Homo-oligomer: A and B are copies of this chain.
């Protein structure tokens, strides 16, 4: 049959084209998720597992944040052994919401978030 090696349910993804603006904005209007997106943008694709982020929340909340980012078409996930590795959907998301990712990724003038 399929050449699937994992017996685990694949994570549900939403393509950026199916994401309303409101959902995209709401997904990015959170300091933890902004940090995740930024760190993800500074790393090669598929190089970061969910647990490998320096974020001040427990792993339950972290899992929830990744679900939100997936639902907003911002990240794609793939199972790699026991880990789940991530990729920022730069091109696709930027095609749907031009300039939005750039706003989040650029450094802040003063400092803050």
Q: Which residues on the B side are within 8 Å of A100 (C-beta)?
A: 99-100, 103
Chain A residues engaging chain B, CB cutoff 8 angstroms: 17, 20-22, 25-26, 28-31, 34, 97-100, 102-104, 108-110, 112-113
Tell me the complex Cα distance, A36–B109, Å: 28
Q: In the assembly, what is the distance between CA of A17 and CA of B109, in Å?
A: 9
Minimal Cβ-Cβ distance residue in B for A34: B22
The reply to whether B97 and A103 contact each other, CB–CB distance below 8 Å, is: yes
Contacts of A30 in B (CB 8 A): 22
**Nearest-CB residue, chain B, relative to A99:** B99
CA distance A110 to B100 in the complex (A): 20
Docked CA distance A67–B99 (Å) = 26
A25 near B22: Cβ-Cβ < 8 Å: no
CB of A108 within 8 A of CB of B29, answer no
A26 to B112 Cα, complex, angstroms? 14
B31 and A28: CB pair below 8 A? Answer: no
Residues of B within 8 A of A31 (CB): 22
B34 pairs with A108, CB closer than 8 A: no
